[in-house]
Amino acid sequence: MVGEKFQAVLYVDSAKGDDRATGEPTEPLKTVTAALQQATIGTVIYLSSGVYTSESGEIFPLTITAGVTVIGAPTSRGRGITLYGGGEFHSPTFAQQAVTLLLADDAQVRGITITNPIAKGTGIWIEETHPTIAHCTLRQCQREGIFVTGTAKPVIANCLFQANAASGVAFVRHAKGEVRRSLFLDNGSGIVCSDRAAPLIIDSQFAENRCGLVLSGRSRPVLRCNTLEYNSREGLAILGNAQPDLGNAEDAAGNLFRGNGDYDLRNQTAIALGSAGNQLSPAKVSGKVEFMSLQNAATHAPAIRQPTLRQPTLQQSASQQSASRHAANWATVFVKAMQEVIPDLIPDLDDRPFQPSLTLTRHQYAVLLSKIWQFPAHLQPVNPDHPEMQLDHPSNPQSSRLVTRLEAIVFLVQGLGLTTGQVGALAAYRDRAQIPSQNALAIAAATQYRLVVLYPQVDHLNPLVPVTQAEAIAMIYQALVMQGTVKAIASPYIVNPGNSNSSNSSNSSNSDSASTWVAFADIHGHWAKKWIQGVVSQGWFEGSPDGKFEPDAPMSVAEYGAWLAEPVEPAGQDGQDEASTDLAVEPEQPILRVQVLQSLVTTLQLPRSAANLALLDRYDDATTIPAAARTAIALATEAKLVVNYPHLRFLKPNQPATRAEIAAMLYQALVYLGQCPAIASPYWIDPDQPQQYQPRDPHHPIVVDLHSRLLLPQAPLVRTKP
């Protein structure tokens, strides 16, 4: 065993490795067991494709020690990389167990498939620790996929739990932690909670299990924005003295229940359960359930009810005018900025015809939009099936009806060509359940691109409340920011898609849980801002503890490798290209742009026979591309992975990649896989445009004559898969 020299990165290959080897890319170890024996805090272990079993030399249970990361294939949730087996573990609280993996504090497992075939076997056992399990598959374990006990607080994100005999995840004792964006399919139960466990369960789907969730003891889980459907017995079963948080009058839970066998929700406790903002049919409920309306005396309308609308009036009392001016203070920065851009768009505030706290009719809003873009002077219906959502035209009586927040946002999204968004962005709204399903993707797109501005409560959309004049101006200004025609304004009332406010309920026992959605203070106005927000929303990158992303800083090979499925190879050494180079992989060295592109091409398994080397003519510095990497760069160009800033024709292959460049290229890979919508930018290389336009000014990439009012909508920011 070679273990005298510490390595920050170790490579393991069950088919080609040797435990007497160095653990370097060209000399991988054979077993995870051997790699873990060498690992210390900070070590990253990469697993090649294969099945890791006792027969191949593994000694179960495997213990991932503190600060160690094991990575397989995150982009495919561990497809083709399986830990299969189990061994005896003596739990301090549950005696003898059969376990595949044990996780210590800050241990991470990413992109691995785990199966424990032993009778009553558990895939991952977590006791008193705070690890991370992401992009993994827990399949066909003979008891649970993951067992969480003691005071453990794991983060479980983007995982698949399938065909586990007892449950996908079990939370017991005082366990907390969180489960995000995970799928539970064909398990005994998706999740079980007992004792005093109180995890946060959000944005996850429970389908075709025996039961979606089973709660017992005095467990207090918080359920937000989950879908529980087509489970053979119940979607949610509540036993003993369990009391799940399913929302309250000021915090919509946003869970969807449908198509479950016996009941969508069965409450067998003697305690009346409160439900607010869930899509739940009373006919499919058993037991005491109190359906609560969502309301706020100051600004909120009753849940799912069309508010009583009235015509705006410019004749106000002195007290009303004072209140209007006070409420408008938050929007002054938007109004003044808009006046600087288009002076006659908004009348001078001193003339008082513009009343920020008042509302707009549909026709007034249409005219306002048509002054900036080539919008029609009438607006198409947001929901054609709704009796009050008919075509809007001055000759139509409906044109005098006030425009709601929902309509204002959807009209803007349609005009800008934002065809769809990431549904996860809706977690920013506590009243998500009030958003009509046919408009959900439009609202998600608007949220994702920071178009939505809400006052005074940024986490309540209140979709059927009339939009104020100030909110309308602010959202129009945000659309200009999105198009790159004006500078961004910092405001606490812009809805941030990086904040999942629904997880911060005042009643949540998990308010200390880390959120996967992060906003950064140093990316405002940055050329890669949308890409950065995109990869962060997918759970790939994180920022620093002080809330910064450091977009222009380099990234080490080890840090980059911790987020990608494949090990990073020396530039050009991918086995099938023309030659090798002297560029070596040192874990602490900055990763080069050519290495990022090579690794993405390898991860995406792009067919080398399809490489069009003529595409390299797009780069004036093509001669600096390592000979052995030319095929990979051609493939990356064809797949639209290459992002060159600020000069399109300079690839800079051998320069260190910045964090922003890496985020942009990784996001482009997710677009290629169809996992994310495309982002329009002048800086990704379009292989179909040999004469691609070079932006004149890197800080203002889209040049438009604002004062001419010929602000045509740019190309849609969300496109279909290339």
As for how many domains the chain has, the answer is 3
Nearest alpha carbon to residue 668 among 639, 647, 701, 632: 639
430 and 542, same domain (yes or no): no
544 located within any domain: yes
What is the pTM (predicted TM-score) of this model? 0.48
One-letter amino acid of 530: K
Distance, in Å, from the CA atom of 152 to the CA atom of 425, rounded to the nearest integer, reads 28
pLDDT digits (tens, 9 = 90+) for 484-499: 678 778 788 888 775 4
499 and 645, same domain (yes or no): no
Nearest alpha carbon to residue 547 among 494, 498, 488: 498
Token representation of residue 505: 């309920």
40 located within any domain: no
Q: What residue has token string 């380099």?
A: 554
Q: Name the percent of the chain lying above pLDDT 70.
A: 75
34 located within any domain: no
Q: Please measure the distance between the N-terminal and C-terminal CA atoms of the chain and give it in whole angstroms.
A: 48
Token representation of residue 622: 């093509």
Distance, in Å, from the CA atom of 224 to the CA atom of 213, rounded to the nearest integer, reads 13
Q: Which range among 152-156, 391-395, 469-473 shows the weakest confidence by mean pLDDT?
A: 391-395
Q: Name the percent of the chain lying above pLDDT 90.
A: 45
Which run of H or of E encompasses 369?
Answer: helix 362-370
Residue 373 has φ and ψ, to the nearest 5°, of -115, 175
One-letter amino acid of 511: S
Distance, in Å, from the CA atom of 621 to the CA atom of 117, rounded to the nearest integer, reads 54
Token representation of residue 109: 């497992």
Residue 46 has φ and ψ, to the nearest 5°, of -100, 135
Measured on CA atoms in the order 499, 661, 671, 439, is the torsion positive or negative?
positive
Full domain range(s) for residue 433: 318-504
pLDDT digits (tens, 9 = 90+) for 35-57: 999 999 989 999 999 999 999 99
195 located within any domain: yes
Task: Report the largest interatomic distance among the alpha carbons of the chain, rounded to a whole angstrom.
Answer: 86
* DSSP 8-class letter at 289: E
pLDDT digits (tens, 9 = 90+) for 502-518: 333 333 333 222 233 34
Beta-sheet strand order (sheet of 227-229): 50-52, 81-84, 113-115, 137-139, 160-162, 183-185, 205-207, 227-229, 256-258
pLDDT score of 100: 98
Q: What residue has token string 């003993």?
A: 240
Query: Which of 61-75, 247-261, 473-487 has the largest mean confidence?
Result: 61-75
pLDDT score of 375: 56
147 and 283, same domain (yes or no): yes
493 and 631, same domain (yes or no): no
- Of the residues 455, 488, 504, the one at which a domain ends: 504
588 and 650, same domain (yes or no): yes
Instruction: Give the number of other CB atoms < 10 A from CB of residue 58.
Output: 23
- Of the residues 292, 310, 337, the one at which a domain ends: 292
One-letter amino acid of 634: A
449 and 490, same domain (yes or no): yes
pLDDT score of 205: 92
19 located within any domain: no
Residue 299 has φ and ψ, to the nearest 5°, of -135, -10
Q: 178 forms bridges with which residues in the sheet?
A: 155, 200
577 and 477, same domain (yes or no): no
154 and 106, same domain (yes or no): yes
39 located within any domain: no
286 and 322, same domain (yes or no): no
Cβ atoms 213, 467 nearer than 8 A:
no
Which run of H or of E encompasses 475?
Answer: helix 469-482
pLDDT score of 374: 60
230 located within any domain: yes
Query: CB within 8 A of 126, min separation 6: which ones?
Result: 102, 103, 146, 147, 148, 149, 152, 154, 175
Residue 207 has φ and ψ, to the nearest 5°, of -140, 140
Nearest alpha carbon to residue 362 among 370, 373, 374: 370
pLDDT score of 547: 57
589 and 622, same domain (yes or no): yes
204 and 129, same domain (yes or no): yes
Distance, in Å, from the CA atom of 108 to the CA atom of 557, rounded to the nearest integer, reads 18
**Residue 162: CATH number of its domain:** 2.160.20
pLDDT score of 55: 96
Long-range contacts of 664-667 (CB under 8 A, 24+ apart): 664/528, 664/531, 664/532, 665/596, 665/597, 665/600, 665/641, 666/535, 666/540, 666/541, 666/563, 666/564, 666/600, 667/531, 667/534, 667/535
273 and 323, same domain (yes or no): no
Q: Exposure of 597 by Cβ count < 10 A (0-12 exposed, 13-18 middle, 19+ buried)? A: buried
515 located within any domain: no
pLDDT score of 389: 36
